[in-house]
Amino acid sequence: MISLDLTSALPEVFLACAAMVLLMLGVFRRAGSTRLVLVLTVVVLAVALLLIVFSPDDRALAFNGLFVTDNFTAYMKVLVLLGAALTIGMSLGYIEREQMDRFEFPVLMLFATLGMLAMVSANDLISLYLGLELQSLSLYVITAFRRDTVRSSEAGLKYFVLGALSSGMLLYGSSMVYGFAGSTNFEALAEVLAADLAFDRTPSLGLIVGLVFLLAGLAFKVSAVPFHMWTPDVYEGAPTPVTAFLASAPKVAAMALIVRVMVGPFGDLFEQWQQIVVVISIGSMVLGAFAAINQTNIKRLMAYSSIGHMGYVLVGLAAGTEAGVLGIVVYLAIYLIMNIGTFACILCMSQEGRMVERIEDLKGLGKSNPLMALAMTILMFSMAGIPPLAGFFGKYFVFLAAIEAGLYALAVIGVLASVVGAFYYVRIVKLMYFEEPAEVLDRPIGAVLRLMITGTSLAMVLFLLVAGPVVGGAGAAAAALFAG
Amino acid sequence: MILQALAFYLFAFVAVASGVMVISSRNPVHSVLFLILAFFNGAGLFVLMGAEFLAMILVVVYVGAVAVLFLFVVMMLDINYVEMRKGFLQYLPVGGLIGLILLVELTFVVGAWVAAPAAGTVASIPIAPPEQVHNTRALGNVIYTDYIYLFQAAGLVLLVAMVGAIVLTLRQREGVRRQSIAGQIGRKRADSIELKDVPRGSGV
């Protein structure tokens, strides 16, 4: 019997308590506490990050086997916390300017982050679901946070209805899996399925249907094709810092969850889920590349871009090997930083104090703000995957894993899709440097955003210098998943 | 024994019949009342199984709180059900088709259903026999000891739901009169009472 071991869940317990304290602080201090609560939220996230970095590396179970920590969860949690802290930090200027500075905003983001950590550490179908709901519910609310604008409330409602549907599918799948295996615990599931497959080679139909529903529910959360319909509308309608948040940390957490569920308990059903992952991966890469071409709104463009990126990440999962998981982890790390940098640039897009989000508004940025244009160029080239920028290495690792696993067609389609995708990234660069502006963007852009943009674009250029620890850590994370 | 079987069939039949009435009655208030009847019969079934704690909880929580809340919502909200059913025929073919496909799939799944041979051995929380542990204690063990993490996580989900509902709906209106208890207590006689000498015959 595994005892209740709180120490390995210390970061989560700390985060939960801190979130409630901050909620109280905001309630009792009333107006004018937003800035304080937001700064404290970032501090809390940083402390949680340190707690994770300095926690022991070996695999540990807590709460009766419902909760697991190992190298994989530690790496993913660091990414999630980093993404959350950076996006919350850069939202301050926006929420004050747009009069949505209520203290609940950072607190709800903190709860969403807590949900993501719970997702990453889930070791049971029930803890998976509760983590997912904690995250999604907070995200629905902050998407609709500007309740007086039609677009924001519409985005929130759409996200909520479709999210509820996907949760329903996930639960339906889970109940079928439970009905087959008699347990929801990941280790017990793995044991039962392995024993069952050793007994006779054809897995039961009910189990496969359950697995498909489970995968569909999870694919919705990472917005993989064909469960991507909500993404462009929600990204466009949500306030820009919320979009930045949606596109970074939750994606990492949901992808970590998919990888753990597929490789862990369902590792023995690899042949069954591999074909599904291959199909949704191809779909996401192709749709992400082609549908983004015609977009005029930069947030919609980023939505399709994130769909495409999730497709590339799934290539690593389709390989189903340790190298594939390593590729996924490296890709997610790079994607996170790249995305935060790009959204920091988007948050700077204002003309005479009001936010603009058309791609045309970037025209002539090369003349009006050459440094920001340079940073944006670096980020766009990195998104397109042009060496020696960081984005290239992410794609390199996943495609390498796919080729090693013999998935040549998938790798070729992926490379072709990234060539098509490069078109719309380069188009933004062309607009910035080779077209005359109709109206210039505001300057100055604020110290926090300037720091973010500089930091992320430097990270893209100098990736080779930090590649050792990033890839090494990812290797340890992937090994932890395949150890059992 | 025969009495128990009779009671079971009575409860089961009334529960199913009132369930049918919940979805088929035209008046939403009647639906809620039938729902309450269904809850009562469910509670009766629990008693027959020896789960008296669950039965009481079902009556107290569902009948006492949830169903009454439903009743309030149905009575307070002026929902035009005719209007809501307008799109029904329009979506019926597509919805019916999807439902049919799912039904066929389900038949296949259930027809070929097998549980894994090892499933029985891993069932994580075995149910204690009612003779050894009375069921309040057994439930408490599961909720507050074995699944404490899930219990707390569910609590956080509910907290987020509450905060979210307040964030999205609460509006700070101007000119709302609120009770200020400190103000009421701290009020002096001189603030509110004024003595006037009224000359006779002339009014105030």
The pair of structure tokens assigned to A18 is 């801190």
pLDDT of residue A336: 96
CA dihedral A40, A41, A42, A43 (to 10 degrees): 50
A47 and B CB contact within 8 Å: no
Interface contact flag, B164 A184, Cβ < 8 Å: no
Those residues of chain A that have pLDDT short of 50 are: 1-2
Region B48-69 average pLDDT: 88
Dist. CA A207–CA B12, nearest whole Å = 31
Report the residue of chain A nearest B117, measured CA to CA.
A196
Which residue bears the tokens 């996006």? A87
B148 touching chain A per CB within 8 A: yes
Buried b (16+ CB within 10 A) or exposed e, A152-181: bbbbbebbbebbeebbebbebbbebbbbbb
CB contact under 8 A, A131 and B153: yes
Smallest CA–CA separation between B159 and chain A, in Å? 9
The three-point CA angle B31-B33-B35 to 5° equals: 70
Task: Give the pLDDT confidence score for residue A201 in this predicted structure.
Answer: 64
Give the nearest partner residue to B148 out of A63, A180, A199, using CB atoms: A63
Which secondary-structure segment (H or E) carries A197?
A: helix A186-199
pLDDT of residue A456: 93
Ordered DSSP codes for A433-450: HHS--SSPPPS---HHHH
Q: What is the mean pLDDT of chain B?
A: 85
Counting one residue from chain A and one from chain B, the pairs whose CB atoms sit within 8 A come to 120
Q: Which of A247, A117, A265 is nearest to A177 (CA)?
A: A265
CA-wise closest residue to A178 among A156, A201, A211: A211
The predicted structure's pLDDT at residue B126: 59
- Dihedral (CA of A131, A133, A136, A141) sign: negative
Interaxial angle between packed helices A71-90 and A322-347, expressed in degrees from 0 to 180 and rounded to the nearest 10: 10
Does B167 contact A102 at a Cβ distance shorter than 8 Å? Answer: yes
B138: left (phi over 0), alpha (psi -120 to 50) or beta: alpha
**Nearest Cα to Cα of residue A304 among A282, A287, A316:** A287
Element (H, E) at A161: helix A150-181
CA distance A26 to A37: 7
Give the Cα separation of B87 and A98 in Å (integer): 38
Q: How confident is the model at residue B108 (pLDDT cuts 50, 70, 90)?
A: confident
Which class for B93: exposed (0-12), middle (13-18), buried (19 or more C-beta within 10 A)?
A: exposed
Does A168 touch chain B if contact means CB atoms closer than 8 Å? Answer: no
* A427 Cβ contact partners less than 8 Å away, ≥ 6 residues apart: A359
DSSP string, B71-103: HHHHHHS---HHHHTTTHHHHHHHHHHHHHHHH
Residue at token pair 């709460």: A63
Q: Is the peptide bond prior to A469 cis by the omega test (within 30 degrees of 0)?
A: no
Say how many residues make up chain B: 204
Residue A355 belongs to what H/E stretch?
A: strand A354-355
Omega before B126 within 30 of 0, i.e. cis = no
Q: Tell whether A107 lies on the interface with B, counting CB pairs under 8 A.
A: yes
CB-side neighbour CA atoms (13 Å) of A78: 19
Partner A contacted by B123 (CB < 8 A)? yes
Whether ipTM exceeds 0.90: yes
* Amino acid identity at B74: V
Cβ–Cβ contact A10 with B under 8 A: no
Whether residue B171 lies within 8 A of chain A, CB to CB, comes out as: no
pLDDT of residue A399: 95
Question: Per the structure block, which two tokens stand in for B52?
Answer: 């008296």
For the beta carbon of residue A315, count every other beta carbon within 10 angstroms: 30
Q: Tell whether the model's pLDDT for residue B125 goes beyond 60.
A: no
pLDDT value at residue A305? 95
- A135 interaction partners in chain B (CB closer than 8 Å): none
The answer to whether A239 touches A209, Cβ cutoff 8 Å, is: no
pLDDT tens readout for residues B17-54: 999 999 888 888 888 899 999 999 999 999 998 888 99
Output the CA–CA distances (angstroms, integers) from residue A14 to A264, A396, B42, B108, in the order listed. Answer: 27, 37, 41, 48
For range B86-104, the mean pLDDT: 86
Give pLDDT, residue A439.
80
pLDDT of residue A2: 47
Contact call for B119 and A183, based on CB within 8 A: yes
Q: Give the three-state DSSP class for A182.
A: coil
CA–CA distances in Å: residue A261 to residues A43, A137, A165, A189, A461: 31, 22, 20, 10, 34
- Check CB contact under 8 Å for B115 and A131: no
Burial class (CB in 10 A: 0-12, 13-18, 19+), B151: middle
| pLDDT, position A1 | 43
Mean local confidence (pLDDT), B169-195: 84
Q: What confidence score (pLDDT) does residue B122 get?
A: 67
